[in-house]
Each structure stands twice: as C-alpha cells, then as structure tokens.
Structure 1
C-alpha cells in the first residue's frame, strides 16, 4: 500500500497524553497515516483545511473552540468534507445531539472504545456510522431520526427468527457477542454465526449498520417471536 492510499487522520485533543496514545495505536496500522496533531478547536479547523484529512478524531471539549463548533465550521466552510469522529469522556445524550447536528459521523467514548479506534477509522472512512457501545441506543435513534445510515430496502422477513432475535438485541444496545449470548441464553458461537448471516442477507457492512437498519425497520422482540 502506497502512502497516498492510506487513510489520512488528524488528531484533535487538548490532552497531549491522549494524543500520544492515539498516535501509538494508529502508527501500527499499515493503512493509516497521522497527518497532524492539534490541541485546540481553532487549530483543528486550520489543520483540517490545510492537511485535508480523510478522518478527524475530534475531542468535544477543547480551549478556544469546542469540538462541536470546530466540526461545524470545517464541514460548513470547506469543500473537503472529512469524516469526523467525536472522541469524548462524556456519555451524555445532549452531547450526541450536538455532535450529530454539527455533522459528525460517529461518537466514541475514550474510556471504552480505545481498542476499536483503528477499526472505527476504517468504518468512518467507508462512510458508515461509528457508535460507542455505551451510547448505542441514543445514537441510533438520532441517526434514524435524521435519516442517516442503513436505508436499504431489505425486508426483515429475509432473516430467520434466530437472526432477528440477535439483531433486535443488538439494536437495543446489548452489543458484545458475550452479552448478547447471555441475554438470549445461547452460545457466543451461535451469536457470531447469526450476526454474520444477518449481515450477509441484508448486505450491510458492520454491526452498527445492522443495528441502524433494525431501528429503522422498527423491529421488536415481538417481530422475532412472530417469526418463530
């Protein structure tokens, strides 16, 4: 993979230790290139314009200008529209709405989602939503309310009853394979298998998109039961 083919990432966070930690993770990914690090919202806007990153990891609370305002300015004023992933320590629904209003494609909690940072960047670069597992339900509601994501015209009838149960559970905010398995009293292998099958049948690319699709379809536990 050539340098020009890599996903260009800008890190915006006022905590230097956080920036270093993110860079260490991303430097190990062969398809990702960190093109800049900034510590405040004003510099985030300037670097976003000059470096034209594909993805920006944007802290919500920074001096000079908030991450929400920086995101809004970048996406409103620049012809180059990067995918902005909000990175925050706060699991509050008000912050979700503000971030999505500004144009962010996702919302991750620093404390819970650091291990999936590389995959989150790849997902955002593909144009898919990126959602913290902790904030799955409110973020999904906001995406659906705004008409974003998972708009495929795929009938829920294409899924088996078991696949529907797993999908509905995922959409309710129970996101790890282990937690879904415990909730449904099945094995982790069974959950993994049903999720893979559901993704294949719907043509969706990841679990977040599958959950978005389920919410848009207004699927419920009753739907899964009726398919049994």
Structure 2
C-alpha cells in the first residue's frame, strides 16, 4: 500500500465485545485503515453502514436479532458496490458460504484460521477483489463439480496457454495458495502470479475466486496438470 492509496473505512460487526475490541486494535494500528464504528447485531450494522458510508463491513454470521446473512443482503442492496461486506465467522459450512455469496458478500473468512489475511482482504475488498478462505473454498468448488453447467463458451479455453490452464486447473481444484501451486508445477511463485494475472486479463475476470469458479465450470479441475 502506498501513501497515495485512499483510506479504507471499516465497520466491525460482532456480538462479542472482546472480539470487536481485538479487531479494532489490529485495524487501528494498520496504515490506511480507519475504524468507522462497531455494531453488535445485524440491524445496527445496516443503519451504521448507511450512516457512516463505510467502504468495508466485517460481518459476523450468528448474532441476536438480524443475522449476518440478512444484514449483508440489505447492505449490498442498499449501497451496492459502494460498500463491500466480508463475512468473518467461525462457521465452516457449505450452506452458509453459498448463502453469504448469494447475499452479496465479497469475502468469507474463518476466525482464527485466516487472521493473518484480514488486512489484505479488507484492502482487496475495498478495491473490488473477492476472497474466500482456503478452508471453505474447496467445499464450494466440489459443489460446483457435482452440479456443473455446460461451459458457456468453450472457445474461451483456447485463450489460455497450456501453462495458464494448468495453474487455473489447480486453483479450481482447491489448491488456492500460490506457493502450493508453484510446488505442484515445479515453477516459481512469480511465474504462478504472472500466469494467474494473464488468465484474469484474458477472461475479463476480476479476481482469483471468479477464476477458480470459471475453471471448475469448464472442467479444468479434472484435468491432469
């Protein structure tokens, strides 16, 4: 992050005061991030997200009254792309992940497991990038494989080089780390980053999550890299 990057305002939503305090302390020490407020339930989150015009909401899932899914749905319907919602929960469930994405969430992180990714995910969400925890991403991809629609445009596969298809194939099979993909293919991490960026550009996709889903729909997860 550079000094020219805009400040990201964040709303912390969790019914556990201790959790909110811990997140606030971490964010307040991060450059370029401003904590705009806190909420302990979904209804207050909707009101504050609108009033404070925040960029990113860190949303718990299970809260009294309005839960995180319904609050996410209302915030994204109200503010659209002007506010991104990232679910931060201890729930590891296919159903909740799908519900969150359908409600308009731009990310799904698992408490404890993804704590080191919190700051880059917040910045990425503000920039329009979606992130799904590696702990739950393979579950979503397996669900897609079980009910895979026919590829919308098979000719798109020809846009990618063989090396790019191998990278996308691993990504869509649930190998989400650049380091792990590099080890599987015996290439450098920089090569993986370059090939991922090239695939995103050629397919006009916004982020790695969309690329993984595209790969699963087009059968790249079943090909031997």
Which of the five TM-score ranges fits, normalised by the shorter chain?
0.7 to 0.9
Contact persistence 1:165–1:221 (CA under 8 A)? no
Q: Which digits, 9 at most, give the CA deviation of each residue in 1:56-113, with x for residues without a partner? A: 0100011222111222233334578511111110110111122123221221111211
Give the CA deviation at 1:170.
1.5
- The aligned residue for residue 62 of structure 2 is 61
What corresponds to 1:199 in structure 2? 197
Residue 217 of structure 1: how far off its partner (Å): 3.5
Per the normalisation by structure 1, the TM-score is 0.78
Distance in 2, Cα, partners of 1:160 & 1:179: 20
SS at match of 1:117: helix
**Equivalent position SS for 1:85:** strand
1:159 Cα deviation after fit:
3.7
In 1, Cα distance between equivalents of 2:143 and 2:19: 28
Contact 1:14 1:38 in 2 (8 A): yes
Match of 2:125 in 1: 124
State the 1:44 CA deviation: 1.0
Match of 1:12 in 2: 13
The alpha-carbon deviation at position 7 of structure 1 amounts to 1.3
Which deviates more, 49-58 or 168-177?
Answer: 168-177
Q: Is the counterpart of residue 97 in structure 1 residue 95 in structure 2?
A: no
Q: Contact (CA 8 Å) 2:36, 2:54: kept in 1 or not?
A: yes
Contact 2:15/2:41, CA 8 A, preserved across alignment: yes
> What RMSD, in angstroms, separates the aligned Cα atoms of the two structures?
3.2
Aligned residues: 215
| Aligned residues of 2:141 and 2:173 also touching (Cα < 8 A) | no
1:33 aligns with 2:63: no
CA distance in 2, matches of 1:121, 1:140: 23
**Cα distance, 1:18–1:78 mapped onto 2, change above 3 Å:** same
Question: Does the CA-based 8 Å contact 2:163-2:195 persist in structure 1?
Answer: no
Cross-structure match for 1:24: 25
Q: Within 5 A, what are the aligned runs for 1:1-228? A: 1=3, 5-77=6-78, 81-139=82-140, 155-182=156-183, 184=184, 186=186, 190-203=188-201, 206-222=207-223
Unaligned runs of 5+ in 2: none
